[in-house]
Structure 1
């Protein structure tokens, strides 16, 4: 039986990375490892998935992913610079070609002035590092799943563009 979280995009990301001889690592806050688990659900993922960091609170963002304390003091845990720093931290700490950082508010309550569904996705690659803000709808679980789907789709598009 297939992993219920794995979809064609996850399979395509693993295939794309495999063909290129590249790897990926994650640093996840609101998704708490769901992105890494989704990638790991794809047969052959061990060739490309280097690891994942679960950075659910601020101190682990600093200790595990190397997010500068100044970034958290300046913009907080739910922000584009934080997502970028998470992506770079995953990439560097796990020795991966690509790093993906996810941080945001899954709910049920707003956090730090951000409404439920606010998600920041960072992608660090061999050439560029960028972050985007997403506005996702639904209940807590739906927002977390949607964040993973968006991360996979945007990672795949970014890999193809570089």
Structure 2
């Protein structure tokens, strides 16, 4: 809620490009009293097809770095910022369950965030523990905290 208020106080808006969170960040921001003032929209890009065909993420980038990577997450944020014409854009990729590109360096629970703001961008990687829902909710909280810290 502090994050939403801070965005509203500045007259800014926010949009999302969500892979692993599948729209949950947008939903969480829609539940605040400031949602009508700040929430521009979002896109769920869970499958690679959506990343490539709708958001125009180059196939070569996904092949080189995997769909769940800081490099792909950054381009998701950049493309979504353009599409939504948003002041703040949050992109999230990661692994909430096994079966993706997990490895010893990138275990299940790894979340990548790239956040574009008018006062600078945020690149964040964190490994969360818990169920898929717990991982996504922790990532949502972290995204809100990172935004609040950056813009306050």
Give the TM-score, by structure 2 length: 0.90
Deviant stretches of 4+, over 4 Å: none
Residue of structure 1 in register with 2:129 after alignment: 137
* 1:126-160 Cα distance to aligned partner (Å, 9 max, x none): 35334211110111111111111111111211222
Deviation at 1:62, TM superposition (A): 2.2
Contact 2:119-2:151 at 8 Å conserved across structures: no
| Equivalent residue, structure 2, for 1:50 | 40
- Cα deviation, residue 66, structure 1: 3.2
Q: TM-score, normalised by structure 1?
A: 0.85
Residues 1:66 and 2:56 are matched in the alignment: yes
Say yes or no: does 1:117 pair with 2:109: yes
* Contact 1:35/1:148 (<8 A) preserved: yes
Q: How many residues align?
A: 149
Distance in 2 separating the partners of 1:95 and 1:133 = 25
**C-alpha displacement at 1:73, in angstroms?**
1.9
Query: Contact 1:24 / 1:97 at 8 angstroms: preserved in 2?
Result: yes
Q: CA RMSD in A?
A: 1.5
The gaps in structure 1 that reach 5 residues or longer are 1-10
Q: Say which SS state the counterpart of residue 100 (structure 2) adopts.
A: coil
Q: Which residue of 2 aligns with 1:158?
A: 150
